[in-house]
Structure 1
Amino acid sequence: MASMDVVPVSSDHNAVQGSDQADGTKDGVSGVVEVLDLEEGEAQKSFYSKGSVIMMVIFSGLAIGSDGYNAAVIGNVELLLAILYPESLTSSIYTRLSNAFLIGMIVGMLMFGVVADQLGRKTGAVATTALLVLGIVLSTAAKGTDETGMFWMLIIARGIAGVGAGGEYPVSGAGAAEASDENKGMRKHRGFMFAMIADLSASLGYVFGGLVPLLLLLCVGQKKEKYDLVWRLSFALGLIPPVSIFWFRYKMAVSTAYRKASMRRQKVPYLLAIKRYWRPLLGASSTWFLYNWIAIPFGIFSGTITNRVNAGDSLITNLGWGVVINCFYIPGPFIGGYLSDKIGRRKTMALGFAMQAVLGFVLGGAYHKIVPIFPLFVVMYGVFLTLGEVGPGSTVVLASSESFPTAIRGQMMGLCSAISKAGAAIGTQVFIPITSGAGDQGAFLVGSAFAVLGALIAFFVIPDVGRRLEDEDENWKKYLEENGWVADWGDNETKDPRGVVINQRSS
């Protein structure tokens, strides 16, 4: 059989151009792909649309899961670095090392939101993957003329990795939303798919961020002289997901939505955009901010748990309890994803926030009675974490994606996600004085109060939007036309991978 250039494109399907449109599918099935060998002219038909969407979901999930791993692993690596370099790892170096990835993520979110809209999803996807890989390689190989020099190289490398990881949010979020819009059946389950992409994958990344160093320590017999190997391998193993998806991303095709409704390489009317979309922008960014702000108690209460079992003197037990606590995040995306498709994004987010607030007030109010019953405290605290994933954890990325038109989707998502990371940074700083003044009980009560605020914003500010992305694209076009703005819509320049021609019907 003749060789074929069969490309596992994300469901970013290219609209057929020219005479190819005349030979559309006649079997009534949406998204049939005709793969042609350009040299020998043989043709083969396969039902590609649904499979390509699923692939986009899987690979986007791997990308964001990789980001979760690389964000989480540094906290566990720092435990080893503190033992190996007690004098060089000063408080200022420790803070810079902890913040480098976060700052890089904020830069990446803002920068690649623009790249994804102006240069295309594929360009953004390839660039973010390359930067993440570069950052991980430099982190693994960090060296210096002295220990302080090594730490500075590690700080810079983590910042580079953070830029790539942060860029994944607007790139994968916009790309996955448009992929799921290619097929009516997949569009119906977009809420569940996004919960798997954006929430479950990130949660699993955090679990493996603690599990991998733990297993490596066990493999080397917990020998201190092997700690250097452990922390470098912990970084290096983070290369597996981004490297494994690089070829797929390089072979991505352009989505129908981007082909038809992008404003590629054009000036964007930001004032008009804010005037029209201020409400979803405010709702999505503030709820995402609050979600990250509330999620900070994990770092605080994991210490409470390890102290309850006298784990403070054992590095292995500390890492083990961190893995156990992170596992409580995992059930949330399944519940939240299901509810998101059944009752809508806005109601699911508000419900999760509200239930988390109720349980948080119970934990805070009866804290001193619950903590002595250690298994009860662990379970209730675990459910508290789960509820956060049921609501905002499963819906914030999707709400930030569906609410905006294709032309500015990446930039709006990038802005919302950057604001959310500011919530994480501010929450870290604010919780420290709260726990110092009011203890863990006060942190629960304050966190629950913010959950109430999140529920109110989700329910009253975030609008219900249609599931068809094309509808908002058309509304955006009409809005700009009414305001005298002329644009050249769509992408007619970018070429899809060689040999791929897609015949599809609108669904």
Structure 2
Amino acid sequence: MDIEEGETQKAFYSKGSAIMMVVFSGLAIGSDGYNAAVIGNVELLLAILYPDSLTSSIYTRLSNAFLIGMIVGMLGFGVVSDQLGRKTGAVATTVLLVLGIVLSTAAHGTDETGMFWMLIIARGIAGVGAGGEYPVAGAGAAESTDESAGMRKHRGFMFAMIADLSASLGYVFGGLVPLLLLLCVHQREDKYDIVWRLSFALGLIPPVSIFWFRYKMAVSTAYRKASMRKQKIPYLLAIKRYWRPLLGVSSTWFLYNWIAIPFGIFSGTITNRVNAGDSLITNLGWGVVINCFYIPGPFIGGYLSDKIGRRKTMALGFALQAVLGFVLGGAYGKVVNIFPLFVVMYGIFLTLGEVGPGSTVVLASSENFPTAIRGQMMGLCSAFSKAGAAIGTQVFTPITAHAGDQGAFLVGSGFAVLGALIAYFLIPDAERKLENEDEAWKAYLEQNGWAADWGDNETQDPKGAVIDQRVS
């Protein structure tokens, strides 16, 4: 249903639908950030309430359940969003996330161990929903920002806000909410059960608030015209054509998550430097402060990605982070004794990670692939990144054991150098107009004898809420 000249009401709804798709994608990813971060703070309370039942094996499973669920969701919903549509994927991920949060909040068992196993399963379910948001929200937001030249021009900044700032704020609130709840109950230990359950429950607010819109969302122009809905995908041809961006984005996202591991290591160092370990409130407060250092990065990185391109911005952020990391690692013995200087330098180190890969990697994994396989390629790249986070956790622990905190900074900076090189030489400068790559993909398949029935002619848009125009 094309928008004809003079049909101002439909044009209004089309523009509004595109903008709301972008805004709510940001809320969805921010919600995932909150639900990923809150478990670390909840575990502090659980360790006090259930010191005997929260064994090291249960602790590890509880910490990893969400991460494993995310990897499953990223891979699975990449396929769902391409084959069954962005709306189907968006609704399903929201339902799974809400179900997982409800089960986490209500976790009980015949004994404490049974309760923890229910919590582990519930966190896994929530992780599947949260992981699915990356290919669903990322692909959907990219296609929505392609509806007009104005949105396309500022897509880099918009994606930095959607994917990076929202996730960073999610992590901030993941520490701030338990902190405020503890203050509300006057830090009474007999109220800790209420605090940890409410901390989970409040994670329901964003996904529940956007569910109706996602249920009523319109189909983007790109998906309407260029999807391969419910058709076999020529994966060998896809890899042959897109191996370079697939390798480049996957590797840089992997390294970005690996480098982010020092946050977990050095947050403890910072709090110990100010004798903060004697209070839950102080520990949570410093965690919030440290997470706030991530926030400036998306604003800088988003601006740069529109001005100099995604590839150069990512490489620049990695390179600057490496330089500062080598300075911190080389002069660690002296810098750590000047606590304010150490905090500022460490904060800038975190910010630079967001300026580069943090602000650009989700966008790069969206722009570099055609609509027909965008969700699956993005899901694969994001799943690879979570593998980097998991592997990095295991590797950095022995590094700090043998080389100390200084060694972790130096190793992390070495990975940043590698990230800068991969970003600069492997990630191409993608076309800003997604339709251009869609047409190139169609022509490529035709040249290789692959016929497809292009587009989505089945899904019906809700009355009045349409996105099937491209004004330029």
Same fold (TM over 0.5): yes
Counterpart-to-counterpart distance in 1, 2:86 and 2:14: 18
Per-residue deviation, residues 58-111 of structure 1 (Å, max 9, x unmatched): 111110000000000000000000000000000000000000000000000000
Unaligned runs of 5+ in 1: 1-14, 27-31, 36-45
Match of 1:183 among 139, 148, 172: 148
Q: How does 1:171-320 map to 2 (within 5 A)?
A: 171-320=136-285
Counterpart-to-counterpart distance in 2, 1:469 and 1:287: 22
- SS where residue 9 of structure 2 aligns? strand
| 1:383 pairs with 2:348 | yes
How much does 1:503 deviate?
A: 7.1
How much does 1:49 deviate?
A: 4.2
Match of 1:69 among 9, 26, 34: 34
**Do the aligned residues in 1 keep the contact of 2:218 with 2:466 (CA within 8 Å)?**
no
Q: Letter of the 1:472 partner, please give it.
A: E
Per-residue deviation, residues 337-368 of structure 1 (Å, max 9, x unmatched): 00000000000000000000000000000000
Equivalent residue number for residue 25 of structure 1: 5
Task: Flag the structure with higher helix content.
Answer: 2
**Do the aligned residues in 2 keep the contact of 1:108 with 1:165 (CA within 8 Å)?**
yes
**Structure 1 residues 261 and 372, CA gap change in structure 2 (3 angstroms):** same
Counterpart-to-counterpart distance in 2, 1:241 and 1:262: 29
Counterpart-to-counterpart distance in 2, 1:469 and 1:296: 34
Counterpart-to-counterpart distance in 2, 1:112 and 1:339: 30
Q: How does 1:51-450 map to 2 (within 5 A)?
A: 51-450=16-415
Q: Identity over the aligned pairs, expressed in percent?
A: 88
**Do the aligned residues in 2 keep the contact of 1:404 with 1:412 (CA within 8 Å)?**
yes
Q: Letter of the 2:5 partner, please give it.
A: T
**Do the aligned residues in 1 keep the contact of 2:17 with 2:467 (CA within 8 Å)?**
no
What is the count of residue pairs matched by the alignment?
Answer: 472
Counterpart-to-counterpart distance in 2, 1:281 and 1:503: 29
Match of 2:440 among 457, 471, 475: 475
Q: TM-score, normalised by structure 2?
A: 0.98
- SS where residue 377 of structure 2 aligns? helix
How much does 1:33 deviate?
A: 5.2
Larger Rg, first or second structure (1 or 2): 1
- SS where residue 490 of structure 1 aligns? coil
**Do the aligned residues in 2 keep the contact of 1:34 with 1:503 (CA within 8 Å)?**
no
**Do the aligned residues in 2 keep the contact of 1:103 with 1:159 (CA within 8 Å)?**
yes
Counterpart-to-counterpart distance in 2, 1:90 and 1:157: 18
How much does 1:25 deviate?
A: 1.2
Counterpart-to-counterpart distance in 2, 1:97 and 1:498: 44
- SS where residue 276 of structure 2 aligns? coil
**Do the aligned residues in 2 keep the contact of 1:292 with 1:421 (CA within 8 Å)?**
yes
How much does 1:174 deviate?
A: 0.2
Q: Letter of the 1:334 partner, please give it.
A: F
Counterpart-to-counterpart distance in 2, 1:446 and 1:51: 46
**Do the aligned residues in 2 keep the contact of 1:49 with 1:183 (CA within 8 Å)?**
no
| 1:34 pairs with 2:9 | yes
Per-residue deviation, residues 104-136 of structure 1 (Å, max 9, x unmatched): 000000000000000000000000000000000
Per-residue deviation, residues 292-337 of structure 1 (Å, max 9, x unmatched): 0000100000000010011111111000000000000000000000
How much does 1:57 deviate?
A: 1.8
Counterpart-to-counterpart distance in 2, 1:440 and 1:431: 10
Q: TM-score, normalised by structure 1?
A: 0.92
Q: Letter of the 2:107 partner, please give it.
A: A
Q: Letter of the 1:25 partner, please give it.
A: E
**Structure 1 residues 492 and 503, CA gap change in structure 2 (3 angstroms):** closer
Per-residue deviation, residues 362-411 of structure 1 (Å, max 9, x unmatched): 00000000001000000000000000000000000000000000000000
Per-residue deviation, residues 248-276 of structure 1 (Å, max 9, x unmatched): 00000111100100000000000000000
**Do the aligned residues in 2 keep the contact of 1:65 with 1:205 (CA within 8 Å)?**
yes
